[in-house]
Structure 1
């Protein structure tokens, strides 16, 4: 089943949420929603009962889903939304894929936590997507998540959560100094948290002292494999969030980092440089316990 959305009105639906809501009577068969270029000012929710959806844009840079809630925005009940309800795109379904779209939280810097995408799915795939925001841009709630050739920007904890997530050939863009890229909350006993494969870290002019991660929860796991890091990355690499006990339980790892921000000798003593044999285990099919997202 294919349905179309266009902000200009030359499609099945003008609003993306209306297209999604229409699927309640479509049964469980996979659905492709084709989105024509345009700016869609909507807060989008993919409900838990939704069938497998492919959200397919025509042009990433011209197909923009945008909203501007933040943690302090008042909800319908008159209470602040908080971080977890601030998302522009909220994916709660078991199976979801998005390609060639930009997802933006336009709340702006200094407004606090403001999520662009909250992904709480069983299996989710983002290909050639841009995730734009400042603090808490991408909230990876749970499940298995795959990000391929994506651009993700932010300043503080802009990739955070408990999911097992692979970032494959993605660009991570640091927007301000003394920030943090990841804030993983990997559950205890989970082998893989965040794995960055062949990614690139860039930054705005003058940005420096950005940490690769800090542990939101005690058993955070983050691995950067063959990542090119610019000079914005802090020499020590990792931060303990002011809780030294988390140095004992967090697993922060690198292999073959390169670039001016990749000084292995300067990293904190409680992080690890993986051997070639250890890094070879960081294969997508292994990380995802037999699931491979190609073609998903």
Structure 2
């Protein structure tokens, strides 16, 4: 028999675990999706279409475990929407399609497009399973095109090859306890985003750059990887990033870098854009892929307080989704 003190501790732990994956606010409307016809809608897009427009209260869309092969668009007027997978893991609820840049252009190749502000996703996978040609680049196929302010992702997986995740310039977003994989520039764009306790995986055996930031020069914050883990298929092959635009801003802070990182040269040039002129840095990273040399700029201690998740996300409204 469990005594009352232990029971109280267990209860608190369970409540904490539930809150970690819960939608960010109480839903005023709940819509249900199941491909087998056992819910209100058979497709995720049908549920998004049915959500109230320009809502200031949250719409929760629950998605029964299964594979949903469709392109999903959350337009700008569909605000405060949460997509929540109902499987026991995010791998059990998958939104997937296979468009590519070769037929749609990079920006239009995504499986999921999000423009509506205050979007959230939890406990699901978003994937583009277009097959990259082995050993080549130029096969962009986006899984998630995010162009929304104040988006939150918890316990999600983003899967693809080149250009998996586009963080576009209207984006301010937070991702925690999640997983992102790809091959080349698979986290890219000009938006502001914090990744926390998230695994970032380079899956190509020849390695490649993780990020391709195009942060506008006038914008202070771009991509922050905070207490994340970087893994890869092979050793000494993966770069932290390259600048898609000259002033790209990326910081890997207090993260675990495994032996997949090319320690001698973790940042590289992109076209005419020099990594040395971009705003790239590391801060107190650990692991066999961490280190310091002339090619690995470190954030000074004096600037650390100005490069926290809260600073990146606050904006003018003080937003703090953590």
2:77 paired residue number = 49
2:164 paired residue number = 137
Segments ≥4 residues shifted beyond 4 Å = 24-28
Count the aligned residue pairs.
282
For residues 24-173 of structure 1, the aligned pairs below 5 Å read: 28-59=56-87, 60-72=90-102, 80-110=103-133, 112-142=139-169, 143-173=171-201
- 2:208 is aligned with 1:210: no
Cα distance change, pair 4–219 in 1 and its aligned pair in 2 (3 A): same
Q: Which runs of 5+ in 2 are unaligned?
A: 1-28
> Equivalents in 1 of 2:108, 2:139: separation in Å?
13
* Contact 2:110–2:144 (CA under 8 A) maintained in structure 1: yes
> Equivalents in 2 of 1:109, 1:231: separation in Å?
24
Larger Rg: 2
Pairwise CA distance, 1:24: 5.0
> Equivalents in 2 of 1:144, 1:198: separation in Å?
19
Q: Which runs of 5+ in 1 are unaligned?
A: 73-79
SS in 1 for 2:219: coil
* Contact 2:53–2:79 (CA under 8 A) maintained in structure 1: no
* Contact 1:229–1:258 (CA under 8 A) maintained in structure 2: yes
Summarize deviations over 1:167-207 as a string: whole Å, max 9, x none.
01100001112311000000112111000100001112x35
> Equivalents in 1 of 2:55, 2:280: separation in Å?
43
* Contact 1:52–1:95 (CA under 8 A) maintained in structure 2: yes
2:219 paired residue number = 190
Summarize deviations over 1:120-174 as a string: whole Å, max 9, x none.
0022111110000000000001220111111000010000001000001100001
> Equivalents in 2 of 1:161, 1:13: separation in Å?
33
SS in 2 for 1:263: coil
1:222 paired residue number = 250
The structure 2 residue matched to 1:12, chosen from 18, 30, 40, is 40
- RMSD value over aligned CA atoms? 1.7
> Equivalents in 1 of 2:50, 2:239: separation in Å?
43
> Equivalents in 2 of 1:240, 1:55: separation in Å?
37
Pairwise CA distance, 1:7: 1.3
> Equivalents in 2 of 1:223, 1:99: separation in Å?
25
> Equivalents in 2 of 1:36, 1:181: separation in Å?
32
* Contact 1:225–1:279 (CA under 8 A) maintained in structure 2: no
2:7 paired residue number = none
Cα distance change, pair 65–169 in 1 and its aligned pair in 2 (3 A): same
Pairwise CA distance, 1:247: 2.4
1:77 paired residue number = none
* Contact 1:175–1:207 (CA under 8 A) maintained in structure 2: no
TM-score where L is the length of structure 2? 0.84
> Equivalents in 1 of 2:50, 2:252: separation in Å?
41
Pairwise CA distance, 1:30: 1.9
TM-score where L is the length of structure 1? 0.91
